[in-house]
Structure 1
Amino acid sequence: TRDDIPNYEKRPKPLQYQHPLSPEESLKYTQVPVGWKLQLFAAEPQIVNPIGLAWDERGRLWAAETVDYPNEIKAERKGADKIKILEDTNGDGRCDKVTVFADGLNIPTSLTFGNGGIYVHHAAETLFLKDTNGDDKADVRELVLKGWGTGDTHAGPSNLRYGLDNQIWGTVGYSGFSNNGQRFGMGVYRFTKSGSSLEFLHQFNNNTWGMGFNPAGDVFGSTANNNPSFFGGIPATILPGGKGLSAKMIASSPTFHPITPNIRQVDVFGGYTAAAGHAFANSNNFPESWRGKRSFVAGPTGNLLGMFDTSRDGAGYKSKNAFQLVASADEWFSPVAAEVGPDGNLWISDWYNFIIQHNPTPNAGRGGYNARNGKGNAHINPNRDRQHGRIYRLVWDEAPKSKTKSLAGASTNELVAALSDPNQFWRFTAQRLLVDGKKIEALPKLRALVANRGVGSIHALWSLDGLGALDSETHRGALLSTDPALRRNAIRALPHTRAGVALMFQSGVINDSDLTTRLAAFVALAKFPSSDPVKNAVSALGNNEVNQKDVWLSAALAASRERHQAADLADLEYEESKKNLLENVNWKVSIHSGNGAQHLLPVNEGFKGGKCLKIESAKPTDTSWGGVVEVKPNTRYRLQGKIKTEGIKGGGMGALFNVHELQSPTRVATKALKGKNGWTEVSVDFNSMGRSKITINALYGGWGQSTGTAWWDEIRLSELVAVPKAVSEVKLKPGDAARGKALFNTHPVAACSRCHAIAGTGGVIGPALDTIAGRKGPDYIRRSLLEPNSEIAEGYPLKVSPMPPMNLLLEPQEIEDILAYLQALK
């Protein structure tokens, strides 16, 4: 028994200290499913405290090793940490060669490949390291970015990886980034390889240690404090002031299931308090039902590696907790990362440490003894180990025989072929080598590959984009592909120019039947330069019920309206233009099914005794008079006219008007008449979407066959011109405490109750808020919501608040409601 083991759980009898086990002994206490084998690849002294994994084009493992974590922060950035290359040279599955590529680093948290070298985070810097003479030693060291926070070393940048867009992606916790007026924290970002551009994309609500891409390039992540699975649906760059819905928690449950009761947690007991990673089963070394859908999320405080199954949920995703893939009764087993390697298997970085949690700092009332923090804001504990570390490989018995291969020195044709490899690692590696190597000789084969359906077409598209050779013909073909994942990526690759606008409107993807692809189109609308067609599209799309009800689609449209100052349909009235676009239409007969109808143009049977259209049939038929008319894309129109019927019956709709091309997701059609009716006025308002020509039908039958006689007259198509209503400036209502309480407990992103307890219910990450209104005034409470770091609660053990400014996650009225609730807690 040791008196410096935190007892946050307040066990009657504190846990005893377990001594470390050898890798062989540790495996005996570790469980994996039947049909799987956990194989040791490397262990101390080859590797110690491995925190990040990546592989080069030769299939060699590179690992970030840090003994400086968590409290050895070096002012001069010269530390004791390393980037190591670990190789199996004899093919027995075990590391037998270790090369130190770079040393003198200080808490390197992540690495990835690009530009012939590696990018490494060691806050406050992002470095580019490169070997130029082939000795596997870094002889180039360049500063790419500076400004990552070091106030808390477990809240810095991590998860570097090469993106489909040929930029470098990563995550950061609440230590955040601050430089040259740019500030952000707790979420996902990307930067160009030169570091000339850095964008914050997805705002999470906690310390962020996980990120992954599914095969379509959709972005997912995990965070601390009960948030093991997030979906990033809308880039914060299009949101007004960067505020609003950019990411959403999607996990069905944050609970995990250790196989030992001897786990140590500080706040979220029995759940993912330190979720890390979100890599997908992106190879054929996994069961088919897992591929591209099952993600792996580490839970080091539970000595386990969990799984989540993602599935579509409207334009977004949901994620079902699929329990554990690996779990150990060895209290030192601490998986902090899991990635699919070049052999297609899952590789696991085991920090192997008895003390894994960073903070809060134990005290006599919480933890059982008084401790103090070090420079990295972690509590000082002599039980933190700096001598152990393991890297495992998990292998499925039924996986196809795989062998680590190499793309080093591969021919252009070999690289193009590898874009379709079943393993996402090789697809990304081939794309990176094509782009970094400026392989312009690959252009014809890349264009041909884009024309094919399959995951390789996505990487070919982005390879062309990275080479500056994505031509409009290839791009248009991708936008019209039958593969929604390719369409989605073609949208994301659109240039933010008028040419990009034209390509998108020509393809019709703003009304895509795949809602996640439609979401990508709505995001693209926000990035385009403002123009009347764009404004009209943004306004009109809000009239669609699906777009209104889907949380992602409605949020993206709201952002587009704001950016383009487009009117919200709720704030518009419409006036008809005086011009009738159907005055000189050449009406032609179309027979859809059935025979025997007579199509007539009587000169004296119209509404006022003049010309009109007429169809009569004694046999069941579905037919029409149709006229083609030119219209403006994404413009609102009114189709109206008069219809008279005599004895119309049968299985069809009857007599009506419709727009032939606009039938999905909702048919554009007027009311249909059956039986006997005198001249009846009918109309329908619609948006032309991306169309420049449409066909107006005087329809007889309609989705079925009818008999009888029908007449159509005074047919008119006119543009509707938007006129803003006279509305007063929107004013916030007084806060509603009942609504505020509901938001406090159930908001899907802010999730206040996950961190703060009231009346004994809620999380313990932040201070309890019982009687907050009796202790603090309204101004203090408001500041604590909007500027959390300006109001750190007395006695709170952290120097930096893990809470994001709530105006990034909540609407102004929602903030007022939560304030009303908190101000009632006296």
Structure 2
Amino acid sequence: MKKAIWSILASASVSLILVTCQVSKKSPNDAPANVQEEMSFATPRTVDQNPSPAPLSPEQSLRTFRVPKGYRLELVASEPMISEPVALTWDGNGRMYVAQMETYMQTVDTTGEHVSASRVMLLEDTNGDGKMDKSSVFIDKLMLPRMVLCVGDELLVNETDTYDVYAYKDTNGDGKADQKRPVYKLGKKSPGNLEHQRSGLDWNLDNWIYVTVDPVRFRYVNGQLKPDTLINGSNGQWGLTHDNYGRLFFSRGGGENAGSGFQINPAYGQLEFRDAYIDSTFGAVWPIIKTPDIQGGLKRLREDSTLNHFTSGNGQSIFRGDRLPQTLVGDYLINEPVARIIRRAKVIANEGKTTLENAYQQEEFIASTDMNFRPVNTYTGPDGCLYIIDMNRGIIQEGTWTGPDSYLRPQILRLGLDQNKQRGRIYRLVYEGITPGPKPQMLTESTNKLVTYLDHPNGWWRDNAQKEVIVRADQTVVPILKQIAQGEQGNLSRKPGALGRLHALWTLEGLGAIDKEVVQNALKDQDAQVRRAAIWISEPYLKKNDTALINALAALQNDPSYDVRTQLLLSLQYSEVPQAKEIMNHILSANAGNEMLTSVKKTIEKNTEIRKFGHKLGNLDAASRKLILNGSITFKSLCATCHGGDGKGLPTQIAPPLVGNFRRMMEKKEAMIKIVLHGLTGPVEGKTYPDMMPPMGTNDDEWVASVLSYVRYDLGLSERGFGGNLSPEFLSRVIVTPEEVKKARDQTAGRTKTFTWEELEKVSQ
């Protein structure tokens, strides 16, 4: 892992159509008459070759942005009201909660980083001008809070170094939390430094709450988060979002991957395509500022001194609002804080497969010449506009990348970037002639009123109305929800659109009020995404081998939508009824040349193999089994970011593959331990990679032993034909014990430099 924290702090279903947001009524923000005008810039892109590293005032920073014609950034909040912001969420009444990592990289040596001195701020706009004018410290003395989610009148918060999630509540209206209760308590320390831990808490359309890194998702039930294990691991690093139809978008900044995990929901496994980017140059970035502070050194720069490729993609969102041009709705937005830019990409469905394409040619949607502009998260807001969190600081990279022998440290010290801290800005993007929407009041409105928002043109309103109805568990609205799901007017002002019907279905599912009749009706809906959702929702029936419902699904096996056919494959795998397999076989034979459908088949088969992997582990002793299982989780959530989930590397070739030419190092246990403890730099097997393997020695001996045991057992020696040999002698060669790690750690104590390939070649074992 590497580079900016937000690259490392830095799938829902199947291929979906995301080019535009289907709404039930005409949106107040019709697209500009000339779409090309909305996509164009007033001036050519030029690069500032002499940017000042000095901090700018918010007003000065606003003048540094380059955005397309018609767009404008407005300041929502800044220091001293906020400091080191990293994530935010709104409650049902539109109040903003901001998580702040106030001890993050306060010095180049990370002094005092893990002190519980961070806060969550509560901000309010009391006069409706879009700028926050009231603030309070909602929660104090936190350890680098990293995930926040409003649920009813409570705020869920997760801190760094722990898996635990607590709910906080203000009972007397003074803007400060005075009640705290656990909603998920694992009671153990989260391994790894703060770069390698989770983000998210994204309440998706399917009523599961997703996070990055860890192979788990949650269901909010009776005030508690109930976990569900993801058999093939999770995805991503810093940042998680979903679209109108429940597709999750992850990113793996450490692997220089500006988007991942968006082909299928992680509950079904992992599926990636090497050509998921339509343009082979999608990874290239186009800053308007000279970029001296890059981890990879001069090879990461163009001739004009700008960053040449994504190095820390993070904080992504799908824009789903109703107060910016319709041409932006459904587009994918992702930050690159080292480049000081925000990428805009079109999300395109291609025969079931989803691809991303830069919306501009050698341009970026938002770019700044402010050297301290550090975008780390983006959101669709209650007012229908786009919100951007700017950490606004000098150092964005975590301490692992700013060590004494790093390329970064002298750049940071030369420019004085270590002095630029304890600030932060929140901006909103607006468009000329379009007025931001009104402030919600969902927490005080009736459940019946909330139901009407399920058909709202702003995705934020639809999502939060669905969530609040479910949290209230108010069964009185079930009859109205069934009417809306079937396309009837119910309590709406007009018949619902496709998105209204979709949210009504999932709200019924969340209330435990879905029934087979509603599902079967939805399977006949004119909208493909509603039909696909009905298949998805039918899975509990399929697991019970409900033949009547399987017969209904058979009518969709030749559906014109690839999304529907893909969902049939994903959902029917849960049924043991022969007809379910017949439908799957028919789809596969009728679409033998379709890459998406054939790849889904392989993913399902891989999941079966992973389930069998448990039997393979059953032959190991308990200690070895524990190491490999724990190592598997870490590898899939962390190491796979750079080395690929199968150990064969990534298309970006950011790091060496762990199989193939590199495998002979696998047999050298001591050498592998030293790589993990102290890192690896320089050419490997004669090939140069963009950056070094970072030292992971801050993790304890058992963590290092578990990762290496998994790699050596599952990816290394077993590839050479030893996989079936489980003799004690073989296992002693493969398994890395904590004692062996300690020995190597003691031998290399005091070493401050990373190893080179040439040094490790001389290690005998």
Pair in the same fold by TM > 0.5: yes
Counterpart code for 1:429: N
Match of 1:520 in 2: 567
How many residue pairs end up in the alignment? 593
| Aligned counterpart in structure 1 of residue 68 of structure 2, from 23, 26, 33 | 33
Paired residues of 1:192 and 1:198 also in contact (CA < 8 A) = no
Residues 1:334 and 2:363 aligned together: no
Secondary structure (helix, strand or coil) at the match of 2:326 reads: coil
Return 810-819 or 358-367, whichever deviates more.
Answer: 810-819
Question: 1:750–1:460: structure 2 CA closer, same or farther, 3 Å change rule?
Answer: farther
Structure 2 CA distance, aligned partners of 1:480 and 1:562?
35
Match of 1:106 in 2: 143
| Aligned counterpart in structure 2 of residue 797 of structure 1, from 665, 672, 695 | 695
| Aligned counterpart in structure 2 of residue 43 of structure 1, from 78, 99, 111 | 78
| Aligned counterpart in structure 1 of residue 313 of structure 2, from 266, 275, 289 | 275
Secondary structure (helix, strand or coil) at the match of 1:408 reads: helix
Counterpart code for 1:506: A
Residues 1:215 and 2:240 aligned together: no
Paired residues of 1:254 and 1:321 also in contact (CA < 8 A) = no
Structure 2 CA distance, aligned partners of 1:519 and 1:27?
45
**Deviations 1:560-596 (CA, angstroms, capped at 9, x unpaired):** 876999xxxxxxxxxxxxxxxxxxxxxxxxxxxxxxx
Paired residues of 2:51 and 2:369 also in contact (CA < 8 A) = no
Give 1 or 2: higher helix fraction: 2
**Residue segments in structure 1 that go unaligned for 5+ positions in a row:** 6-13, 177-183, 373-380, 566-742, 756-761
Match of 2:532 in 1: 488
Structure 2 CA distance, aligned partners of 1:814 and 1:313?
39
Q: Could you tell me how far 1:431 is from its partner in structure 2?
A: 0.7
Structure 2 CA distance, aligned partners of 1:355 and 1:750?
31
Q: Could you tell me how far 1:469 is from its partner in structure 2?
A: 0.8
Match of 1:259 in 2: 288
Match of 1:558 in 2: 605
Q: Could you tell me how far 1:395 is from its partner in structure 2?
A: 0.1
Match of 2:520 in 1: 476
**Deviations 1:689-745 (CA, angstroms, capped at 9, x unpaired):** xxxxxxxxxxxxxxxxxxxxxxxxxxxxxxxxxxxxxxxxxxxxxxxxxxxxxx999
Counterpart code for 1:141: K
Secondary structure (helix, strand or coil) at the match of 1:349 reads: strand
**Deviations 1:445-484 (CA, angstroms, capped at 9, x unpaired):** 2111111241011111111111111121111111221211
Q: Could you tell me how far 1:140 is from its partner in structure 2?
A: 2.5
Structure 2 CA distance, aligned partners of 1:316 and 1:44?
43
Return 432-441 or 502-511, whichever deviates more.
Answer: 502-511
Match of 1:590 in 2: none
Paired residues of 2:678 and 2:696 also in contact (CA < 8 A) = no
Match of 2:15 in 1: none
**Deviations 1:168-195 (CA, angstroms, capped at 9, x unpaired):** 22213xxx5xxxxxxx4xxx74444522
Secondary structure (helix, strand or coil) at the match of 1:491 reads: helix
Q: Could you tell me how far 1:511 is from its partner in structure 2?
A: 4.1
Question: 1:82–1:366: structure 2 CA closer, same or farther, 3 Å change rule?
Answer: closer
Structure 2 CA distance, aligned partners of 1:113 and 1:511?
41
Q: Which structure 2 residues correspond to residues 200-239 of structure 1 after superposition, within 5 A?
A: 200=230, 203=233, 208-225=237-254, 226-238=256-268
Q: Which structure 2 residues correspond to residues 113-512 of structure 1 after superposition, within 5 A?
A: 113-123=150-160, 124=162, 125-143=164-182, 144-146=184-186, 147=188, 149-172=190-213, 176=214, 184=215, 189-193=217-221, 194-200=224-230, 203=233, 208-225=237-254, 226-238=256-268, 245=271, 250-251=276-277, 252=279, 253-267=282-296, 269-292=307-330, 294-322=331-359, 323-358=363-398, 360-362=400-402, 366-367=406-407, 383=418, 385-399=420-434, 402-452=437-487, 453-494=497-538, 495-496=540-541, 497-498=543-544, 502-508=548-554, 509-512=556-559
**Deviations 1:212-263 (CA, angstroms, capped at 9, x unpaired):** 2111111112221421112433455555xxxx63787833411111101135
Q: Could you tell me how far 1:527 is from its partner in structure 2?
A: 2.9
Question: 1:325–1:813: structure 2 CA closer, same or farther, 3 Å change rule?
Answer: same
**Residue segments in structure 2 that go unaligned for 5+ positions in a row:** 5-48, 301-306, 488-496, 613-639, 682-692, 723-756
Q: Could you tell me how far 1:788 is from its partner in structure 2?
A: 9.2
Structure 2 CA distance, aligned partners of 1:409 and 1:753?
49
Q: Could you tell me how far 1:83 is from its partner in structure 2?
A: 1.2
Secondary structure (helix, strand or coil) at the match of 1:457 reads: helix
Q: Could you tell me how far 1:288 is from its partner in structure 2?
A: 2.1
TM-score, scaled to structure 1: 0.64
Q: Could you tell me how far 1:804 is from its partner in structure 2?
A: 8.7
Question: 1:363–1:104: structure 2 CA closer, same or farther, 3 Å change rule?
Answer: closer
Counterpart code for 2:440: K
Q: Could you tell me how far 1:499 is from its partner in structure 2?
A: 5.8
Q: Could you tell me how far 1:507 is from its partner in structure 2?
A: 3.0
Paired residues of 1:744 and 1:752 also in contact (CA < 8 A) = no
Q: Could you tell me how far 1:502 is from its partner in structure 2?
A: 3.6
**Deviations 1:48-83 (CA, angstroms, capped at 9, x unpaired):** 0110011111112111112122557788xx711111
Counterpart code for 1:797: P
TM-score, scaled to structure 2: 0.68
Secondary structure (helix, strand or coil) at the match of 2:481 reads: helix
Question: 1:751–1:96: structure 2 CA closer, same or farther, 3 Å change rule?
Answer: farther
Q: Could you tell me how far 1:408 is from its partner in structure 2?
A: 2.5
Question: 1:753–1:195: structure 2 CA closer, same or farther, 3 Å change rule?
Answer: closer
Paired residues of 2:342 and 2:367 also in contact (CA < 8 A) = yes
Match of 1:648 in 2: none
Question: 1:247–1:815: structure 2 CA closer, same or farther, 3 Å change rule?
Answer: farther
**Deviations 1:340-366 (CA, angstroms, capped at 9, x unpaired):** 100000011000011111254346664
More RCO (CA 8 Å, sep 6+): 2
Q: Could you tell me how far 1:798 is from its partner in structure 2?
A: 3.0
Counterpart code for 1:151: G
Which protein shows a greater Rg? Answer: 1
Q: Which structure 2 residues correspond to residues 737-752 of structure 1 after superposition, within 5 A?
A: 752=649
Question: 1:744–1:140: structure 2 CA closer, same or farther, 3 Å change rule?
Answer: closer
Structure 2 CA distance, aligned partners of 1:815 and 1:335?
43
CA RMSD of aligned residues (A): 4.3
